Amino acid sequence: MSRDDQIQALLDRQAITELSYRYSRAADRLDRELLTSVYWPDGTDDHGAFAGSAPDYVDWVINLLSSWIAVHHDNTNILIDIDGDTATGEVHWTGYYTYEINGQVHDHLAVGRYIDRYERRAGEWRIKHRTCLSDWSRIEPSVDWRTDPARRRLAGKRKPDDLLYSARRLGIAAE
Amino acid sequence: MTIEHMLQAGRVASVSDPHLQMLLDKQACAEVMMTYCRAIDHRDEELLRSVFHPGSQHRHGFIGPSSDPSRPSKPGEPGDFVAYALGVLATHFRTHHQLGNIFIDVEPGAVVAYTEAYFTAYHRMRPKGDPQASAAAYDTEMDYWVGGRYMDRMEKRDNVWKIAHRTGITDWQRIESPSSSGYNAIPPETRMQQNRDDFLYHRRAFYG
Protein backbone atom coordinates (compact mmCIF):
# COMPACT_ATOMS: atom_id res chain seq x y z
CA MET A 1 0.00 0.00 0.00
CA SER A 2 1.45 3.35 -1.04
CA ARG A 3 1.56 6.26 1.39
CA ASP A 4 -1.27 7.94 -0.56
CA ASP A 5 -3.37 4.77 -0.26
CA GLN A 6 -2.69 4.66 3.48
CA ILE A 7 -3.84 8.29 3.89
CA GLN A 8 -6.92 7.51 1.75
CA ALA A 9 -7.72 4.56 4.05
CA LEU A 10 -7.60 6.91 7.05
CA LEU A 11 -9.85 9.42 5.26
CA ASP A 12 -12.33 6.63 4.39
CA ARG A 13 -12.35 5.42 8.00
CA GLN A 14 -12.97 8.98 9.25
CA ALA A 15 -15.82 9.53 6.76
CA ILE A 16 -17.49 6.23 7.70
CA THR A 17 -17.07 6.91 11.44
CA GLU A 18 -18.71 10.32 11.01
CA LEU A 19 -21.77 8.64 9.41
CA SER A 20 -22.54 7.06 12.79
CA TYR A 21 -21.96 10.37 14.58
CA ARG A 22 -24.28 12.16 12.14
CA TYR A 23 -26.88 9.44 12.52
CA SER A 24 -26.89 10.03 16.31
CA ARG A 25 -26.92 13.79 15.97
CA ALA A 26 -29.87 13.54 13.56
CA ALA A 27 -31.87 11.22 15.83
CA ASP A 28 -31.15 13.30 18.93
CA ARG A 29 -32.02 16.62 17.32
CA LEU A 30 -34.94 15.17 15.29
CA ASP A 31 -33.19 16.36 12.12
CA ARG A 32 -34.99 14.48 9.34
CA GLU A 33 -32.89 15.94 6.55
CA LEU A 34 -29.62 14.97 8.24
CA LEU A 35 -30.87 11.46 9.05
CA THR A 36 -31.94 10.91 5.43
CA SER A 37 -28.47 12.01 4.27
CA VAL A 38 -26.57 9.21 6.02
CA TYR A 39 -28.33 6.49 3.95
CA TRP A 40 -28.30 5.89 0.21
CA PRO A 41 -31.82 6.50 -1.18
CA ASP A 42 -32.05 2.74 -1.93
CA GLY A 43 -30.66 1.89 1.53
CA THR A 44 -32.39 -0.31 4.08
CA ASP A 45 -32.59 -0.59 7.85
CA ASP A 46 -33.56 -3.34 10.27
CA HIS A 47 -34.19 -2.12 13.83
CA GLY A 48 -36.19 -5.19 14.84
CA ALA A 49 -39.35 -3.22 15.61
CA PHE A 50 -39.03 -1.76 12.10
CA ALA A 51 -37.49 -3.24 8.96
CA GLY A 52 -37.72 -1.68 5.54
CA SER A 53 -36.43 1.07 3.28
CA ALA A 54 -34.25 3.86 4.65
CA PRO A 55 -36.80 6.63 3.86
CA ASP A 56 -39.53 4.65 5.65
CA TYR A 57 -37.17 4.03 8.59
CA VAL A 58 -36.51 7.78 8.86
CA ASP A 59 -40.28 8.45 9.04
CA TRP A 60 -40.74 5.71 11.62
CA VAL A 61 -37.94 6.71 13.97
CA ILE A 62 -38.54 10.49 13.79
CA ASN A 63 -42.18 9.83 14.65
CA LEU A 64 -41.21 7.54 17.53
CA LEU A 65 -38.62 9.90 19.04
CA SER A 66 -40.80 13.02 18.69
CA SER A 67 -42.83 12.10 21.75
CA TRP A 68 -39.79 11.37 23.94
CA ILE A 69 -38.49 13.91 26.45
CA ALA A 70 -34.73 13.27 26.10
CA VAL A 71 -32.71 11.24 23.63
CA HIS A 72 -28.91 10.92 23.62
CA HIS A 73 -27.09 8.35 21.45
CA ASP A 74 -23.37 7.76 21.77
CA ASN A 75 -21.05 5.63 19.64
CA THR A 76 -17.83 3.92 20.71
CA ASN A 77 -15.76 0.85 19.63
CA ILE A 78 -16.00 1.53 15.93
CA LEU A 79 -14.47 -1.27 13.83
CA ILE A 80 -14.57 -0.80 10.06
CA ASP A 81 -13.40 -3.17 7.30
CA ILE A 82 -12.97 -1.47 3.95
CA ASP A 83 -12.90 -3.42 0.69
CA GLY A 84 -12.69 -1.08 -2.28
CA ASP A 85 -15.96 0.84 -2.60
CA THR A 86 -17.78 -1.23 0.01
CA ALA A 87 -17.19 -1.59 3.72
CA THR A 88 -18.71 -3.24 6.76
CA GLY A 89 -18.70 -1.92 10.29
CA GLU A 90 -19.58 -2.79 13.85
CA VAL A 91 -20.40 0.21 16.05
CA HIS A 92 -21.20 0.00 19.76
CA TRP A 93 -24.01 2.37 20.72
CA THR A 94 -25.34 3.61 24.06
CA GLY A 95 -28.78 5.19 24.21
CA TYR A 96 -30.18 7.30 27.05
CA TYR A 97 -33.89 7.94 26.73
CA THR A 98 -36.43 9.69 28.93
CA TYR A 99 -40.11 9.16 28.11
CA GLU A 100 -43.47 8.56 29.72
CA ILE A 101 -44.92 5.14 30.40
CA ASN A 102 -48.54 5.28 31.60
CA GLY A 103 -48.13 8.93 32.54
CA GLN A 104 -44.95 8.40 34.59
CA VAL A 105 -41.55 9.62 33.37
CA HIS A 106 -38.94 6.86 33.01
CA ASP A 107 -35.24 6.67 32.17
CA HIS A 108 -34.28 3.97 29.70
CA LEU A 109 -30.60 3.06 29.32
CA ALA A 110 -29.72 0.67 26.51
CA VAL A 111 -26.61 -0.53 24.73
CA GLY A 112 -26.14 -2.51 21.56
CA ARG A 113 -24.38 -2.63 18.22
CA TYR A 114 -25.02 -1.50 14.68
CA ILE A 115 -23.85 -3.94 12.03
CA ASP A 116 -23.52 -1.87 8.87
CA ARG A 117 -22.88 -2.14 5.18
CA TYR A 118 -21.46 1.02 3.59
CA GLU A 119 -21.03 1.92 -0.07
CA ARG A 120 -18.95 4.58 -1.76
CA ARG A 121 -20.59 6.19 -4.79
CA ALA A 122 -18.93 9.08 -6.66
CA GLY A 123 -16.49 9.46 -3.78
CA GLU A 124 -19.12 9.65 -1.02
CA TRP A 125 -19.63 7.02 1.69
CA ARG A 126 -23.15 6.35 3.00
CA ILE A 127 -24.98 3.53 4.77
CA LYS A 128 -26.44 0.89 2.43
CA HIS A 129 -27.84 -1.24 5.23
CA ARG A 130 -27.93 -0.89 9.01
CA THR A 131 -28.97 -3.66 11.39
CA CYS A 132 -29.46 -2.54 14.99
CA LEU A 133 -28.83 -5.18 17.66
CA SER A 134 -29.72 -4.69 21.34
CA ASP A 135 -27.32 -6.16 23.91
CA TRP A 136 -28.58 -4.85 27.28
CA SER A 137 -31.08 -2.39 28.72
CA ARG A 138 -32.83 -1.19 31.87
CA ILE A 139 -35.82 1.09 32.50
CA GLU A 140 -36.53 2.88 35.77
CA PRO A 141 -38.67 5.77 37.00
CA SER A 142 -36.72 8.99 36.45
CA VAL A 143 -35.88 12.01 38.55
CA ASP A 144 -37.41 15.08 36.92
CA TRP A 145 -34.29 17.21 36.71
CA ARG A 146 -35.83 19.57 34.17
CA THR A 147 -37.54 21.39 37.01
CA ASP A 148 -34.05 22.48 38.12
CA PRO A 149 -33.67 25.99 36.60
CA ALA A 150 -29.85 25.90 36.74
CA ARG A 151 -29.88 22.84 34.49
CA ARG A 152 -32.73 23.89 32.23
CA ARG A 153 -30.93 26.98 30.97
CA LEU A 154 -28.34 25.00 29.00
CA ALA A 155 -30.47 21.93 28.32
CA GLY A 156 -30.37 20.01 25.05
CA LYS A 157 -33.21 20.73 22.58
CA ARG A 158 -34.33 19.68 19.12
CA LYS A 159 -33.74 21.29 15.74
CA PRO A 160 -33.77 24.30 15.31
CA ASP A 161 -33.80 25.31 18.99
CA ASP A 162 -30.66 23.47 20.11
CA LEU A 163 -27.45 25.50 20.47
CA LEU A 164 -25.99 23.37 17.66
CA TYR A 165 -28.09 25.31 15.12
CA SER A 166 -27.60 28.70 16.73
CA ALA A 167 -25.37 31.54 15.64
CA ARG A 168 -24.37 31.79 19.31
CA ARG A 169 -22.46 28.54 18.88
CA LEU A 170 -20.25 30.18 16.34
CA GLY A 171 -19.66 33.18 18.55
CA ILE A 172 -21.42 35.33 15.91
CA ALA A 173 -24.21 36.56 18.15
CA ALA A 174 -24.30 37.33 21.86
CA GLU A 175 -26.35 35.12 24.19
CA MET B 1 4.11 9.06 28.57
CA THR B 2 4.84 11.56 31.31
CA ILE B 3 3.08 14.69 32.48
CA GLU B 4 5.32 16.63 30.08
CA HIS B 5 3.87 14.60 27.19
CA MET B 6 0.31 15.05 28.45
CA LEU B 7 0.81 18.81 28.49
CA GLN B 8 1.65 18.72 24.75
CA ALA B 9 -1.89 17.78 23.63
CA GLY B 10 -3.01 19.85 20.65
CA ARG B 11 0.42 20.23 19.07
CA VAL B 12 0.15 19.43 15.37
CA ALA B 13 2.59 19.12 12.47
CA SER B 14 2.24 21.30 9.38
CA VAL B 15 2.07 19.19 6.21
CA SER B 16 1.52 20.06 2.54
CA ASP B 17 -1.28 17.51 1.83
CA PRO B 18 -4.51 19.35 2.85
CA HIS B 19 -6.41 16.09 3.51
CA LEU B 20 -3.68 14.69 5.72
CA GLN B 21 -3.56 18.07 7.50
CA MET B 22 -7.30 17.79 8.18
CA LEU B 23 -6.87 14.32 9.70
CA LEU B 24 -4.00 15.55 11.88
CA ASP B 25 -6.02 18.59 12.96
CA LYS B 26 -9.05 16.44 13.88
CA GLN B 27 -6.87 14.05 15.86
CA ALA B 28 -5.17 16.91 17.71
CA CYS B 29 -8.52 18.54 18.58
CA ALA B 30 -9.95 15.23 19.81
CA GLU B 31 -6.91 14.66 22.02
CA VAL B 32 -7.32 18.13 23.57
CA MET B 33 -10.93 17.23 24.45
CA MET B 34 -9.82 13.92 25.97
CA THR B 35 -7.06 15.69 27.90
CA TYR B 36 -9.74 17.96 29.38
CA CYS B 37 -11.57 14.84 30.67
CA ARG B 38 -8.34 13.37 32.01
CA ALA B 39 -7.49 16.63 33.82
CA ILE B 40 -10.99 16.89 35.29
CA ASP B 41 -11.04 13.32 36.59
CA HIS B 42 -7.64 13.66 38.27
CA ARG B 43 -8.28 17.25 39.41
CA ASP B 44 -5.02 18.14 37.66
CA GLU B 45 -5.02 21.93 37.62
CA GLU B 46 -1.85 22.31 35.54
CA LEU B 47 -3.17 19.90 32.91
CA LEU B 48 -6.64 21.48 32.93
CA ARG B 49 -5.26 24.98 32.37
CA SER B 50 -3.15 23.63 29.49
CA VAL B 51 -6.17 22.85 27.25
CA PHE B 52 -7.33 26.49 27.03
CA HIS B 53 -5.87 29.33 25.00
CA PRO B 54 -5.41 32.63 26.86
CA GLY B 55 -8.69 34.55 26.65
CA SER B 56 -10.81 31.37 26.34
CA GLN B 57 -14.41 31.82 27.52
CA HIS B 58 -16.62 29.27 29.29
CA ARG B 59 -20.33 28.59 29.72
CA HIS B 60 -20.76 25.38 31.69
CA GLY B 61 -21.98 25.83 35.25
CA PHE B 62 -19.69 28.86 35.36
CA ILE B 63 -19.84 31.76 32.89
CA GLY B 64 -16.61 33.67 32.37
CA PRO B 65 -12.95 33.03 31.56
CA SER B 66 -11.93 29.36 31.17
CA SER B 67 -8.53 29.82 32.74
CA ASP B 68 -7.31 33.09 34.22
CA PRO B 69 -5.29 32.33 37.37
CA SER B 70 -4.76 36.06 37.95
CA ARG B 71 -8.50 36.52 38.59
CA PRO B 72 -8.93 36.00 42.34
CA SER B 73 -11.44 33.51 43.77
CA LYS B 74 -13.56 34.42 46.77
CA PRO B 75 -15.75 32.02 48.73
CA GLY B 76 -18.68 31.11 46.47
CA GLU B 77 -17.22 33.22 43.67
CA PRO B 78 -14.60 31.37 41.62
CA GLY B 79 -12.37 33.58 39.48
CA ASP B 80 -12.38 31.29 36.46
CA PHE B 81 -13.84 28.01 35.21
CA VAL B 82 -10.82 26.02 36.42
CA ALA B 83 -11.30 27.27 39.99
CA TYR B 84 -15.04 26.59 39.73
CA ALA B 85 -14.53 23.06 38.36
CA LEU B 86 -11.90 22.11 40.95
CA GLY B 87 -14.33 23.25 43.65
CA VAL B 88 -17.17 21.14 42.24
CA LEU B 89 -14.93 18.10 41.75
CA ALA B 90 -13.79 18.24 45.39
CA THR B 91 -17.38 17.54 46.47
CA HIS B 92 -17.16 14.08 44.82
CA PHE B 93 -15.21 10.97 45.78
CA ARG B 94 -14.54 10.24 42.13
CA THR B 95 -15.65 11.13 38.62
CA HIS B 96 -15.30 9.61 35.14
CA HIS B 97 -15.84 11.69 32.01
CA GLN B 98 -16.14 9.80 28.77
CA LEU B 99 -16.41 11.11 25.22
CA GLY B 100 -18.33 9.40 22.42
CA ASN B 101 -19.40 11.11 19.19
CA ILE B 102 -16.79 13.74 18.36
CA PHE B 103 -17.56 16.13 15.51
CA ILE B 104 -14.75 18.44 14.49
CA ASP B 105 -15.71 20.74 11.65
CA VAL B 106 -12.49 22.10 10.21
CA GLU B 107 -11.85 23.21 6.66
CA PRO B 108 -8.52 22.33 5.05
CA GLY B 109 -5.99 24.94 6.13
CA ALA B 110 -8.33 26.54 8.69
CA VAL B 111 -7.10 27.64 12.11
CA VAL B 112 -10.60 27.64 13.66
CA ALA B 113 -12.68 24.50 14.27
CA TYR B 114 -16.26 24.22 15.54
CA THR B 115 -16.88 21.04 17.48
CA GLU B 116 -19.56 19.03 19.20
CA ALA B 117 -18.50 16.22 21.54
CA TYR B 118 -20.89 13.95 23.42
CA PHE B 119 -19.95 13.28 27.03
CA THR B 120 -21.15 10.91 29.70
CA ALA B 121 -20.02 11.70 33.24
CA TYR B 122 -20.27 9.46 36.31
CA HIS B 123 -19.89 11.05 39.75
CA ARG B 124 -19.99 9.66 43.31
CA MET B 125 -21.15 12.56 45.47
CA ARG B 126 -19.89 13.11 49.02
CA PRO B 127 -22.70 12.98 51.63
CA LYS B 128 -23.87 15.63 54.11
CA GLY B 129 -21.49 15.72 57.07
CA ASP B 130 -18.40 15.14 54.93
CA PRO B 131 -16.28 18.29 55.33
CA GLN B 132 -15.80 18.43 51.53
CA ALA B 133 -19.48 17.84 50.68
CA SER B 134 -21.37 20.31 48.54
CA ALA B 135 -24.02 22.56 50.14
CA ALA B 136 -26.59 20.61 48.09
CA ALA B 137 -25.33 17.19 49.31
CA TYR B 138 -27.79 14.41 50.09
CA ASP B 139 -27.93 12.55 53.42
CA THR B 140 -26.08 9.62 51.83
CA GLU B 141 -23.50 9.23 49.10
CA MET B 142 -25.20 9.45 45.70
CA ASP B 143 -24.42 8.42 42.15
CA TYR B 144 -24.88 11.27 39.71
CA TRP B 145 -24.80 10.50 35.96
CA VAL B 146 -25.13 13.10 33.33
CA GLY B 147 -25.01 13.07 29.55
CA GLY B 148 -24.53 16.12 27.42
CA ARG B 149 -22.44 17.82 24.81
CA TYR B 150 -19.49 20.16 24.72
CA MET B 151 -19.63 22.66 21.90
CA ASP B 152 -16.33 24.38 21.39
CA ARG B 153 -14.62 26.88 19.22
CA MET B 154 -11.09 25.57 18.95
CA GLU B 155 -8.24 27.58 17.52
CA LYS B 156 -4.83 26.67 16.15
CA ARG B 157 -2.29 29.21 17.34
CA ASP B 158 1.42 28.60 16.60
CA ASN B 159 0.58 25.02 15.51
CA VAL B 160 -1.22 24.19 18.77
CA TRP B 161 -4.95 23.47 18.90
CA LYS B 162 -6.67 24.50 22.14
CA ILE B 163 -10.13 25.49 23.31
CA ALA B 164 -11.03 29.16 22.76
CA HIS B 165 -14.71 28.93 23.82
CA ARG B 166 -16.60 26.05 25.44
CA THR B 167 -20.32 25.67 26.15
CA GLY B 168 -21.59 22.61 28.04
CA ILE B 169 -25.13 21.40 27.29
CA THR B 170 -27.01 18.91 29.48
CA ASP B 171 -29.16 16.33 27.65
CA TRP B 172 -30.14 14.02 30.54
CA GLN B 173 -29.22 13.26 34.12
CA ARG B 174 -30.00 10.82 36.88
CA ILE B 175 -29.24 10.86 40.61
CA GLU B 176 -29.67 7.77 42.76
CA SER B 177 -28.31 5.84 45.73
CA PRO B 178 -25.24 3.76 44.95
CA SER B 179 -25.39 -0.02 45.10
CA SER B 180 -24.42 -1.48 48.47
CA SER B 181 -21.32 -3.31 47.24
CA GLY B 182 -19.81 -2.49 43.90
CA TYR B 183 -16.96 -0.03 43.82
CA ASN B 184 -15.61 -0.64 47.31
CA ALA B 185 -15.14 -4.33 46.50
CA ILE B 186 -12.58 -3.46 43.82
CA PRO B 187 -8.91 -3.99 44.85
CA PRO B 188 -7.44 -0.58 45.87
CA GLU B 189 -4.60 -0.76 43.35
CA THR B 190 -7.05 -0.74 40.44
CA ARG B 191 -9.27 2.05 41.77
CA MET B 192 -8.93 5.52 40.33
CA GLN B 193 -7.26 8.37 42.21
CA GLN B 194 -8.48 11.95 41.88
CA ASN B 195 -4.90 13.20 41.70
CA ARG B 196 -1.48 12.34 40.31
CA ASP B 197 -1.32 9.21 42.47
CA ASP B 198 -3.44 7.55 39.77
CA PHE B 199 -1.75 4.76 37.81
CA LEU B 200 -1.94 6.94 34.70
CA TYR B 201 0.87 9.11 36.03
CA HIS B 202 3.06 6.13 36.99
CA ARG B 203 2.55 3.80 34.05
CA ARG B 204 5.82 4.81 32.37
CA ALA B 205 7.82 3.90 35.48
CA PHE B 206 5.76 0.72 35.97
CA TYR B 207 6.02 -0.56 32.40
CA GLY B 208 9.66 0.49 32.01
What 3 state SS string does chain B have? CCHHHHCCCCECCCCCCHHHHHHHHHHHHHHHHHHHHHHHHCCCHHHHHCCEEEEEEEEECEEEECCCCCCCCECCECCCHHHHHHHHHCCEEEEEEEEEEEEEECCCCCCEEEEEEEEEEEEEECCCCCCCCCCCCCCCCEEEEEEEEEEEEEEEECCEEEEEEEEEEEEEEEEECCCCCHHHHCCHHHCCCCCCCCHHHHHHHHHC
Which residues of A fall within a CB distance of 8 Å from B26? 14
A141/B contact by beta carbon, under 8 A: no
Per-residue pLDDT tens for A80-107? 999 999 999 999 999 999 999 999 989 9
* pLDDT given for residue A143 in this prediction: 72
A51: closest CA of chain B, how far (Å)? 25
* 8 Å CB contact of A11 and B19: yes
Is the pLDDT at B1 greater than 80? The verdict is no
* 8 Å CB contact of A11 and B147: no
* pLDDT given for residue B187 in this prediction: 87
Residue A59 has phi, psi (to 5 degrees) of: -60, -45
Q: How many CB atoms lie within 10 A of CB A134?
A: 13
The CA–CA distances, whole Å, from B29 to A7, B73, B169, B198 equal: 19, 29, 19, 24
Largest CA distance in chain A: 60
Bridging pattern class, strands B52-60 and B160-176: parallel
Which residues of B fall within a CB distance of 8 Å from A70? 171-172
Q: Please give the ipTM for the structure prediction.
A: 0.91
CB of A134 closer than 8 Å to CB of A112: yes
B151/A contact by beta carbon, under 8 A: yes
Of B114, B168, B170, the CB nearest to A170: B114
Per-residue pLDDT tens for B88-142? 999 999 999 999 999 999 988 899 999 999 999 999 999 999 999 999 899 999 9
Q: How many CB atoms lie within 10 A of CB B188?
A: 7
Q: Which residues are within 8 A (CB) of B66 and not within 5 positions of it... i.e. 6 or more apart?
A: B52, B56, B57, B58, B80, B81, B82, B163, B166
Which residues of B fall within a CB distance of 8 Å from A20? 101
pTM of the model: 0.94
Q: Which residues are within 8 A (CB) of B207 and not within 5 positions of it... i.e. 6 or more apart?
A: none
Nearest-CA neighbor of A125 among A14, A7, A5?
A14
**Mutation target among B169, B176, B179 for the A interface, most CBs of A within 10 A:** B169
Instruction: Name the amino acid, one letter, at B23.
Output: L
The ranges of chain A with pLDDT < 70 are: 144-153, 167-175
**Mutation target among A29, A96, A111 for the B interface, most CBs of B within 10 A:** A96
CB of B117 closer than 8 Å to CB of B149: yes
Give the separation between CA B5 and CA B1, rounded to whole angstroms: 6
